[in-house]
């Protein structure tokens, strides 16, 4: 079965198979240097711009703001969950995440 | 590449959606194929139905859009009856109970917890009294806003009500204009107070005069490309066009068609008219309108009335809203009533409808400050009307902190919001009223709370602008607000400066209290707050705000978006009773 991925509601949600799964307004913790110099960076996702799948991992392009230093920037490839047997398993925003590098170069 | 939404609209959009809504309603929520839900919910918006947020699946918000907010006799009561019967949720709101209606900043009414199965019945009952939900949401002509006291107002120069009605009749369910790249918000102002708030709309008609063939003609100047959303606020730009009342519909149709044909259908973030005006410039918009979309010679702009605009203007003089008792042109009175954050419980709403019918014409009109107006009150009925107990709360003479409060829907129901808003704003207003004195002579002080950058509470045009955010406090993420100062409309509109960011929501009342103390101490004579802000740079302004905890208590500091309903005893998403069948029984998940 193919996976339907899209942003919804003016970028407020990531919809996976017609179900709203990942929301803006969650605070994601990102490793040092992935977004700004804060360690870790607590980043509020403000809007989703795009969504893609990298192997089994759902990655998003979003705009966010660091709650400590105030940096506002785009996040190119934030992993937000995995597809296993056509079901989506979201990652915990509070767990430290890394950014998925393109072309399979992720750590 | 066109977006998914454009594909869905190409397949089916506009008036054809009605039959599909009725089919799904007949067969029940579960009949909507799971892999088509995003598409159908997008289409349902065109008929004013907005699927509520995650945790509230199968429940809808229903929006009713009367042009210029005018509810004719009987229409308000019908909406109250519908809210009473159909708009009740599985849990109570601690401030508002269960069963209410929300007056919006675009002069519409929103009802929540609507079940799809009830919608055909609701459509019938609304249409029975001449009301409609058509194009209240979706990518088309939204509710046309304008002077709510058109036809009765001593400040009126041109009959904005007539044009708003004509535009509504021409462009609602009009196939040529039913599928636009994005929403299309139109305002018609006819008064010298600027209460249509045209500057923040995609298309604005504003009162003007022009010398034509030796005669002074009253009509409209035209502006385009205003809007507040997505951290990209714009005031509508003057395209140097004057339209007579007879030409205005053609000009509106031409501009709507121009947006239809040239708006960005590949990127919804870039699809609003404001971005097209950014790209083209107002001169090119005018030239293209003239060349391709109207078949008469456009007149250049006439003399406008902007220098007297006072509505939501933040200046010391003039009428800032419609609240209070005001004489009409026919010698009767209209009574503007304050509705705190726009929400009216059904029992109160019945009493308001009773009073409107007993002492006035039965009309109820909605304003862009989320308030209501009862029109056509004979002078001899004023005392008896105002003695009705319900008007102690919905007062024509409210405290400035209550009068100035606006709040959007927030995480209670909205997918976009980052924070809880309406209950919080009620609590803010209550605390400020009890604990903070306004400086001498300050009778209007507007505080607008918007849950996100969509800006439905119009935060950028308030004295104090509050916008939903998050921060960390004691190591935990908590709901927070950015604070902006000094916004307002008027002759020279100004967006608020965002001078303090990520203030924990429970420290905001303390921040406003210190701000007002500092304003009172440093103010020059009777200077208005907006003038005071204009005189200072952002750094100086930031120094005036000292966020601090007070005895204000905020029960919504947690992640309210991660609840099924922020006020439920067990608010965990897992405890959600949604989705539910028509009788309210939860539908078990497949897992």
- Give the residues across from B374 on adjacent strands: B335, B364
DSSP secondary structure string for all residues of B339-405? -GGGEEEHHHHHHHHHHHHHHS-S-EEE-TTS-EEEEEE-GGGHHHHHTSTHHHHS-SS--HHHHTE
Q: CATH class for domain B4-128?
A: alpha beta
Q: What is the CA radius of gyration of chain B?
A: 23
Beta pairing class for B343-345 and B405-407: unpaired
The set of residues, in sequence order, having a beta carbon less than 8 Å from that of B86 and lying 6+ positions away, is: B111, B114, B115, B118, B121, B122
CB contact under 8 A, A18 and B37: yes
Our CA angle for B433, B436, B442, nearest 5°, is 85
Q: Does residue A25 sit at the B interface (CB-CB below 8 Å)?
A: yes
CATH number listed for the domain at residues B324-398: 3.30.70.3340
Q: Is the pLDDT of residue A102 over 60?
A: no
Helix (H) or strand (E) holding A60: strand A57-66
Residues from chain B that touch A26, judged by Cβ atoms under 8 A, are: 559, 561-562
Name which of B4, B419, B454 is nearest A10 (Cβ-Cβ).
B454
User: Is B410 in contact with B454 (CB distance < 8 Å)?
Assistant: no
What whole-number distance in Å separates Cα of residue A67 and Cα of residue B472?
7
The answer to whether the beta carbons of residues B481 and B554 sit under 8 Å apart is no
Domain with CATH 3.30.413.10 in chain B: 156-308, 403-558
Q: At what angle do helices B119-128 and B75-86 cross, to 10 degrees?
A: 160
Task: Please tell me the distance from the alpha carbon of residue B409 to that of residue B418, in angstroms, as a whole number.
Answer: 11
DSSP-derived 3-state class of residue B511: helix
Banded model confidence at residue A104, pLDDT cuts 50, 70, 90: very low
Of A15, A25, A71, A95, which to mutate for an interface test with B (greatest number of B Cβ within 10 Å)?
A: A25
ipTM of the complex: 0.89
Residue among A12, A18, A27 minimizing CB distance to B416: A12
Contact B38 A18 (CB under 8 A): yes
- Closest to A13 (Cβ–Cβ): which among B4, B415, B419? B415
Cα(B438)–Cα(B532) distance, integer angstroms = 14
Q: What's the pLDDT at B583?
A: 86
Cα–Cα dist B93/B83, whole Å: 15
Percent of chain A with pLDDT over 90: 60
B468 → chain A, closest CA residue: A25
Residue A103 in this model has a pLDDT that exceeds 60: no
* Token pair in block for residue B547: 């966020």
- B405 Cβ contact list (under 8 Å, min separation 6): B340, B341, B425, B426, B428, B429, B447, B448, B449
- Dihedral over Cα of B508, B512, B513, B518: its sign: positive
CA dist B68 and B150 (Å) reads: 8
Domain B403-558 bears CATH identifier 3.90.550.10: no
DSSP state of B563: B
Residues of chain A contacting B269 with CB distance shorter than 8 Å: 10-11, 47, 49
B/e letters for B199-236, b = 16+ CB within 10 Å, e = fewer, are bbbbbbbbbbbbeeeeeebebbbbbbbbbbbbeebbbb
Q: Which residues does residue B110 pair with via DSSP β-bridges, in sequence order?
A: B63, B102
pLDDT in tens for each of the 591 residues of chain B? 788 999 999 999 999 999 999 999 999 999 999 999 999 999 999 999 999 999 999 999 999 999 999 999 999 999 999 999 999 999 999 999 999 999 999 999 999 999 999 999 999 999 999 999 999 999 999 999 999 999 999 999 999 999 999 999 999 999 999 999 999 999 999 999 999 999 999 999 999 999 999 999 999 999 999 999 988 999 999 999 999 999 999 999 999 999 999 999 999 889 999 999 999 999 999 999 999 999 999 999 999 999 999 999 987 577 899 999 999 999 999 999 999 999 999 999 999 999 999 999 999 999 999 999 999 999 999 999 999 999 999 999 999 999 999 999 999 999 899 999 999 999 999 999 999 999 998 989 999 999 998 899 999 999 999 999 999 999 899 999 999 999 999 999 999 999 999 999 999 999 999 999 999 999 999 899 999 999 999 999 999 999 999 999 999 999 999 999 999 999 999 999 999 998 888 898 754
Looking at domain B156-308, which CATH architecture does it have? 2-Layer Sandwich (3.30)
Q: Which residue has the higher pLDDT, A95 or B580?
A: B580
Q: How many CB atoms lie within 10 A of CB B591?
A: 4
B257: Cβ contacts below 8 Å, ≥ 6 apart: B176, B177, B293
Shortest CB distance from B35 goes to which of A18, A26, A46? Answer: A18
Contact B354, B384 (CB under 8 A): no
What is the token pair recorded at A51?
């969504």
Cα separations in angstroms, B318 against A80, B50, B325, B404, B541: 52, 38, 15, 15, 26
Size of the A and B interface in Cβ pairs below 8 Å? 75
Residue intervals in chain B for CATH 3.30.70.3340: 324-398
Burial class (CB in 10 A: 0-12, 13-18, 19+), B287: middle
Alpha helices in B232-298 (DSSP H): 245-262, 273-280, 282-288
Contact B423, B553 (CB under 8 A): no
In Å, how far are A33, B298, B403 from B248, measured between CA atoms?
Answer: 55, 11, 34
In the block, residue with structure tokens 């506009």: B14
């Amino acid at each position: 079965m193919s996976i339907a991925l899209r942003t919804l509601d003016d970028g407020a949600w990531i919809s996976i198979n017609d179900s709203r799964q990942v929301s803006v307004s969650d605070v994601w913790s990102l490793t040092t240097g992935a977004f700004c110099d804060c360690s870790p960076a607590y980043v509020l996702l403000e809007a989703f711009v795009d969504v893609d799948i990298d192997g089994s991992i759902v990655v998003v392009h979003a705009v966010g703001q660091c709650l400590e230093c105030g940096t506002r920037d785009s996040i190119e490839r934030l992993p937000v969950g995995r597809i296993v047997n056509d079901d989506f398993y979201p990652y915990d925003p509070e767990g430290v995440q890394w950014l998925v590098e393109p072309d399979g170069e992720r750590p | 590449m066109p977006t998914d939404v454009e594909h869905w609209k190409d397949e089916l959009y506009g008036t054809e959606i009605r039959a599909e809504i009725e089919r799904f309603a007949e067969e029940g929520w579960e009949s909507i194929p799971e892999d088509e839900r995003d598409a159908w919910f997008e289409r349902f918006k065109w008929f004013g139905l907005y699927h509520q947020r995650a945790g509230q699946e199968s429940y809808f918000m229903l929006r009713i859009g009367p042009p210029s907010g005018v509810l004719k006799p009987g229409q308000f009561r019908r909406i109250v009856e519908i809210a009473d019967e159909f708009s009740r949720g599985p849990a109570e709101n601690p401030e508002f109970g269960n069963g209410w209606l929300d007056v919006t900043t675009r002069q519409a009414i929103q009802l929540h917890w609507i079940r799809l199965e009830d919608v055909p019945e609701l459509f019938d009952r609304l249409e029975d009294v001449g009301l409609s939900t058509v194009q209240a949401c979706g990518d088309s002509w939204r509710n046309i806003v304008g002077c709510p006291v058109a036809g009765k107002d001593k400040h009126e120069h041109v009959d904005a009500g007539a044009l708003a009605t004509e535009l509504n009749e021409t462009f609602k369910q009009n196939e040529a204009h039913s599928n636009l790249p994005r929403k299309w918000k139109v305002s018609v102002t006819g008064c010298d107070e600027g209460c249509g708030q045209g500057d923040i709309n995609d298309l604005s008609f504003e009162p003007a005069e022009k010398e034509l063939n030796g005669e002074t003609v009253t009509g409209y100047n035209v502006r385009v490309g205003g809007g507040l959303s997505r951290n990209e606020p714009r005031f509508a730009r003057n395209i140097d066009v004057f339209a007579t009342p007879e030409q205005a519909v053609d000009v509106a149709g031409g501009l709507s068609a121009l947006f239809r044909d040239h708006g960005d259908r590949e990127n919804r973030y870039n699809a609003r008219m404001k971005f097209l005006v950014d790209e083209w410039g107002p001169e090119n918009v005018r030239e293209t309108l003239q060349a391709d979309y109207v078949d008469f010679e456009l007149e250049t702009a006439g003399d406008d009335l902007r220098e007297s605009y006072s509505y939501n203007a933040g200046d010391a003089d003039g009428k800032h809203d419609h609240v209070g008792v005001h004489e009409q042109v026919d010698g009767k009175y209209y009574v503007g009533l304050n509705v705190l954050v726009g929400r009216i419980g059904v029992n109160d709403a019945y009493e308001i409808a009773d009073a409107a019918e007993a002492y006035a014409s039965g009309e109820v009109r909605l304003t862009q400050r989320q308030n209501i107006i009862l029109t056509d009150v004979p002078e001899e009925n004023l005392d008896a009307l105002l003695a009705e107990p319900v008007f102690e709360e919905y007062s024509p003479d409210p405290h400035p902190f209550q009068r100035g409060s606006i709040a959007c829907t927030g995480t209670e129901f909205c997918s976009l919001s980052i924070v809880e808003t309406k209950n919080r704003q009620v609590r803010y207003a209550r605390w400020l009223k009890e604990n903070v004195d306004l400086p001498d002579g300050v009778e209007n002080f507007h505080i607008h709370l918007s849950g996100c950058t969509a800006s439905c509470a119009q935060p950028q045009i308030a004295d104090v602008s509050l916008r939903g955010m998050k921060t960390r406090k004691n190591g935990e993420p908590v709901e927070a607000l950015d604070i902006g100062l000094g916004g307002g409309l008027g002759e020279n509109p100004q967006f608020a400066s965002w001078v303090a960011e990520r203030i924990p929501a429970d420290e905001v009342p303390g921040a406003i209290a210190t701000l007002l103390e500092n304003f009172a101490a440093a103010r020059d004579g009777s200077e208005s707050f907006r003038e005071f802000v204009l005189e200072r740079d952002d750094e100086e302004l930031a120094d005036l705000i000292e966020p601090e905890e007070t005895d204000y208590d905020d029960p919504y500091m947690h992640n309210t978006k991660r609840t099924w309903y922020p006020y439920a005893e067990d608010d965990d998403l897992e405890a959600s009773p949604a989705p539910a069948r028509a009788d309210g029984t939860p539908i078990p998940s497949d897992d």
